[in-house]
Amino acid sequence: MSENLLEVNNLKKYFKTSGGMLHAVDDVSFVIPAGKTMGVVGESGCGKSTLGRTLLQLYQPTAGEIRFRGENIANLSKKEFHKVRPKMQMIFQDPYSSLNGRMTVQQLIAEPLIVNKVCRNKKEIEDRVNKMMDTVGLASRLAMSYPHELDGGRRQRIGVARALILEPEFVVCDEPVSALDVSIQAQILNLLMDLQEQMGLTYMFITHDLSVVKHISDEIMVMYLGKCVEKAPAEEIFRNPVHPYTRALLAAIPIPSVESCHKRRTLLQGEVTNPINPKPGCRFAARCQYATDACRQGEIPLKEVSPGHFAACIHMEK
């Protein structure tokens, strides 16, 4: 059994606004074994990207623990975290806005090596960049090209190369294929899975598309307004979704068949709960057809439905 590379306990990230505290990530806990992929899904605004950025100290946690190889890195200073940074990297959603348009492909991929001073000379930098370009499927003839001269797929391969050039152990993939065409999405997903196997990488794969996360994830965590509402092995989530929100997400996956046009879908109604100073209780209650007063009286903890399958709902049998 793989050891846990990352262990997160009761992580919170709040933002101060004029109306109060916005609970972007609220009391989230999970573990990711080494070499595995945790898929994080949910609607826009559910806190999944904030979660990923908080793990990498792009946002300072409000409370909770982030244990990387057993060490709590949640409260490290910027100087202390600089030693951990090469082992924890991120692939961003938009491959164009995340790249400096004034730098060539070669310069963009070399930048992390130069910033972290891991190479002794220019020849070593050039060799590592050329090797990484070959690894991610970028032709050597593109080394002196600029981002605006390339298509979305090649730009994202640059993003992947930048994230992996320092040989990290953990990579947050923040919706890395959502801005790409469907055919290119498949290429990037296959590349990420191949690289995981070759380099022994551990991923957190963030997306709003359940059909995408199914193929790459070992375990899936469903988030709603900062809370984890369901967590289970990938196959179990698709075979036996328990939380009403998870079932609604699954029902929204397009099925390419004529028969599916007549299939009855789960439609969510009601207003999304305000994430600023939220009241106690299930945050999905305002949109849930099964909600009762009991759902609004206090926090709904995650309960184990079956081995490894957890859900935060008091009406799971429905």
Q: Which residues of 127-153 are buried (b: 16+ CB within 10 A; e: fewer)?
A: ebbeebbebbebeeebbebbbeebebb
Angle between helices 182-199 and 152-164 (to 10 degrees): 20
Which residues lie across from 79 on neighbouring strands? none
Cα 300 to Cα 282: distance, rounded to the nearest angstrom: 6
pLDDT at 256: 63
Phi and psi at residue 163, to the nearest 5°: -70, -30
User: Which residue stretches of the chain have pLDDT < 70?
Assistant: 1-2, 254-267, 317-318
Measuring CA to CA, which residue among 135, 43, 146, 48 is closest to residue 103?
Answer: 146
pTM, 2 dp: 0.91
DSSP element (H, E) containing 33 = strand 20-33
CA distances 198 to 69, 97, 135, 157, 191, Å, are 21, 28, 10, 16, 10
Tokens of 231: 């967590």
Q: Tell me the torsion sign for CA atoms 245, 250, 253, 255.
A: negative
Beta bridge partner(s), residue 174: 206
User: What pLDDT was estimated at residue 265?
Assistant: 61
DSSP calls for 41-97 = E--TTSSHHHHHHHHTTSS--SEEEEEETTEE-TT--HHHHTTTGGGEEEE-S-TTT
**What number of other Cβ atoms are within 10 A of residue 236's Cβ?**
19
Identify which of 50, 201, 242 has the alpha carbon closest to the alpha carbon of residue 233.
242
Helix axes 122-136, 105-115, angle to 10 degrees: 120
Amino acid 279 reads K
Alpha-carbon distance of 66 to 32, in angstroms, equals 11
Give the Å distances, CA to CA, from 170 to 87, 221, 246.
6, 17, 26
